[in-house]
Amino acid sequence: MSFEEKLKTFRERYRAITVLGGVQGLLGWDQMVNMPHGAMAERGAQLHALGGIIYDMGTNPEFGQLIENLASEIPDLDADDPIAREIKLAKRQYDLATKVPKDKMMEMIMATTQAQGVWEKAKASNDYALFQPYLQKILDLSLEFVEYFKPYDHPYDALSNQFEPGMKSKEVKAIFDALRPRQVELIKAIGERPQPKDDFLYKRYDIAMQRKINYLVATLQGYDWSRGRMDESVHPFTTSFGMDDVRITTKYIENDASGAFFSTMHETGHALYELGLGRMYQGTSLGSVSSMALHESQSRLWENLVGRSKAFWSYFYPIYQAYFSEHLSGVSLDDFYKAINKVSPSLIRTESDEATYNLHIMLRFEIELAMLEGKINTKDLPEVWNEKMRDYLGVVPENDTTGVLQDVHWSGGMIGYFPSYALGNLIASQWWHKLSQDRPNTLDEIAKGDLSGVLAWLRENVHQHGSRYDAMDLVKRVTGEPLNPDYYMDYLNEKYREIYSI
């Protein structure tokens, strides 16, 4: 069999696996959006059965041998060549998949399916004790998974590798240790200044009108409604079933319209990335995103660097004001801009301001490290959470709903994901610096309601590459330098020193 024939056979098999993965994602989306709670056991059985089929296909020895045969005929798997990269990624995925026994993978699928429904109930009823046994099960399984991925420098690395390939916890810790004092210094300086008035943001904002304005802003960003839709869920998320079906959700709060608005911009940023992947990579190992930090760089860029900018609201505020004239008719653009960028330590990560956001991530990172090291018992998490919230942000949740139960990630087995948010912030600022150099009129275009230039730059420089490059490699290729946290701090300092007249 020629190399071309082997490649064709491999791609057919890989494509079949990705198609079933899309079906698996569809079941997960339905579970979060539409499924009645009573169907949890049945959905668990469905996901278990489908997960078994996908596992068997992805770990089939014949499939693995086909990958090895292709790899042996490629002179340099590290070459900057699409086929070399495609086979290298497939080999990495196969090697990782075959390390985990099927029964353990199926056990994790069932555990997370059950935990998802229980987490929703626990959050709604402020009952962490209800969720704790399910979290403990997920943690126990995660620790078993860690053993399959030896050797490692730290157990955390074995889990975070699925989200940030190659990124070590010691590297994340070094970045956080360098950022923390600089962010704390800025927050302290801000705290000594008068705070902007923002009470008008927390009136009763009609949810029907919120839905309309959110649809409008996602459209303005460039979301293709013929290949996506927006629904509501307990925790906003984006999911892709394939290059032509990428869906987003948001969560509406009647007395906080800006929460859903910025969550929608955030999730639309994720969706635009998935919809912009290079069509030539469809169905291959390159037809996905290589890093969740890259993914978060897109959502955070749209939510903050575009969505919370003065330029954006110069155009959009009259529209927003018209929708909610009852509360905003007497509020100036400048007052509104300062209000949505107010720095005030908050309980909820997804509603936090840019200056304090990374502190939420550092808190979660420390908790996950300690859980994996056996230094924190899951039964004690509410107390540990509250203590760290006090230490990091100076606020303490009054209940578990706004505390330890606020995030969906642990119920989905996503231990090791949180650093991606903070890394995404850093990458987003570095993208923005380069974008501003390449397109110096960007802010002027945004102020006219034209966001197409931002999307075009991201399509060309980030989206189209799929998984061809690892995250840090792509950052260097696009910006000409490695990840540099200075761009993030420069952005924060420039923005907030102007807002607060520091």
Q: Would you please indicate which residues are annotated as catalytic (active-site) residues?
A: 267
What is the SS3 string spanning 151-220? CCCCHHHHHHCCCCCCCCHHHHHHHHHHHHHHHHHHHHHHHCCCCCCCHHHHCCCCHHHHHHHHHHHHHH
**Total residues belonging to the chain:** 502
* Cβ pair 394, 345 in contact under 8 A: yes
* Cβ pair 28, 238 in contact under 8 A: no
Q: How far apart are CA 285 and CA 289, in angstroms?
A: 9
Other CB atoms within 10 A of residue 21 CB: 19
Q: How far apart are CA 164 and CA 420, in angstroms?
A: 7
* Cβ pair 212, 230 in contact under 8 A: no
Q: Could you tell me which of 93, 71, 63, 85 has the C-alpha nearest to residue 3?
A: 71
Residue 294 is encoded by which pair of tokens? 């890259």
From residue 432, alpha-carbon distances to 81, 341, 477 in Å are: 27, 18, 15
Q: Could you tell me which of 102, 112, 10, 93 has the C-alpha nearest to residue 55?
A: 102
Q: What is the DSSP letter of 281?
A: G
Sheet holding 230-232, edge to edge: 230-232, 245-250, 238-242
**In the structure, how many helices (H) and strands (E) does the chain have?**
21, 3
From residue 159, alpha-carbon distances to 112, 130, 155 in Å are: 15, 25, 7
**Which residues are CB-neighbours of 410 under 8 A, at least 6 positions away?**
115, 119, 135, 138
* Cβ pair 313, 335 in contact under 8 A: no
The angle at the Cα of 313, spanning 312 to 318, to the nearest 5 degrees, equals: 130
